[in-house]
Amino acid sequence: MKLSMPRFDQASVLVVGDVMLDRYWHGGTSRISPEAPVPVVRVDQVEDRPGGAANVALNIAALGAPAALVGVTGIDEARQSLHDSLAAAGVDAHFQAIEHQPTIIKLRVMSRHQQLLRMDFEEPFDTDPAALLAQVEALLDGVKVLILSDYGKGALRNHQALIQAARKRGIPVLADPKGKDFGIYRGATVITPNLGEFEAIVGPCVDEPELVAKGAELMRQLELGALLVTRGEHGMTLLRPDHSPLHLPARAREVFDVTGAGDTVISTLAAALAAGEELPQAVALANLAAGIVVGKLGTACISAPELRRAVQREEGSERGVMTLEQLLTAIEDARADGERIVFTNGCFDILHAGHVTYLEQARAQGDRLVVAVNDDGSVSRLKGPGRPINSVDRRMAVLAGLGAVDWVVCFAEDTPERLLAQVRPDVLVKGGDYGVDQVVGADLVTGYGGQVKVLGLVENSSTTAIVEKIRKR
């Protein structure tokens, strides 16, 4: 299955459900309490993160998709903390505020990246279903996907009214279900239970054929468009009427914390569908995203650059020959990870030992090396008739095969100045025996605070010398 990074910027998603605040108290532990056999945590940091449906909306926004949220809170400082965090992330949040009831808080006490204790402050909300439905209906215009993020805390009391409101507008509905009555999700486009939630409804599944059979029956009973069962270390299974099951393996390299993994799955799935991806491709993207987020501590999001890199690794396109647009996107992602970009350029007509040594030295100046290659026309103008020996596509393919080279791009001008202005490398590298002030583009790079370095050349290594030697023979 071929994957690509969707255009999330037009993929508007509305999330409705149980919002909560995930609060973390961090501190060191160096002794046991004299009052009881428990560690004493000296709290030195308090961290608030949106949780539940709010985390789903935050995940969607982190992917670059427009996200709106409808939920229920109290009137307290936790509500304000949620509102501020979501607003800072660009989430359009609408809360039904209920007096005399607290906003749900999940408090975790952490030490050395380990959770020692969790305390829940909550009570089921006395939600006004009609008012919540009115809020949702007022926001549905322009929405591509509706998510019901159900944690069973009382925000969702009128599932069918919400599903029908979306279906009347042709909007797909994704539901993350809870409880022992999945009938409330009848008519949803996709529901995404984990294996435990699924088996609580249909009974234990001893093998995949039984899971598929019971899933098919559940879809028939509930008139579902599809069923996605998340299965932890066994990945996930997508079931659709009249289609073969799609089993996807778990993608996590290391599982650190599964908190919020289900939120990541449904948010990525919804955003991908809203961006126009087909369901199998959207599920595969959600599977990649889940593999990333379980490697993080606590309730966490993945960003568009993180997902894009996972897609590139999946497709084997993280390195190599790129268009200018692909290169600029790759550089943006690399910089988001704090990586330094090194740039060099040349004809590289017949690759020799001097080139290889030079490119290895250039790569050592930073974290990523961009090699810009003159196209055939500019080589002819610079080197004269009969050059290049190798066409630009072949020269770029050979360069892309070198371990020191991350990205290869071509340019048509005689100098790379226009390309440099777009790439804006941290380090511009050139090989030769001239000064920094003689390097093309040096003024541009130093002008914005970059570095320019001139590296020595390997003696007795040049393409021109190789060509002349062949001609004489």
The residues annotated as belonging to the active site are 263
Instruction: Pull the structure tokens for residue 473.
Output: 């023979």
Q: Phi first, then psi: give them for residue 92, nearest 5 degrees.
A: -85, 95
Q: List all residues 6 or more positions away from 95 whose beta carbon is below 8 Å from its beta carbon.
A: 19, 70, 71, 72, 73, 79, 82, 83
d(CA 435, CA 453): 9
Nearest to 419 by CA among 452, 391, 450, 444: 444
Other C-beta atoms lying within 10 Å of the C-beta of residue 181: 10
The gap from C-alpha 431 to its chain's centroid, in whole angstroms, comes to 37
Give the H or E element holding residue 212: helix 208-222
Query: Residues 44-81, buried b or exposed e (16+ Cβ, 10 A)?
Result: eeeebbbbbbbbbbbbbbbbbbbbbbbbbbbeeebbeb
d(CA 386, CA 471): 12
Question: Is residue 171 within 8 Å of 145, Cβ to Cβ?
Answer: yes
d(CA 425, CA 403): 20
Q: Classify burial at 93, counting beta carbons within 10 Å of its beta carbon; exposed 0-12, middle 13-18, buried 19 or more.
A: buried
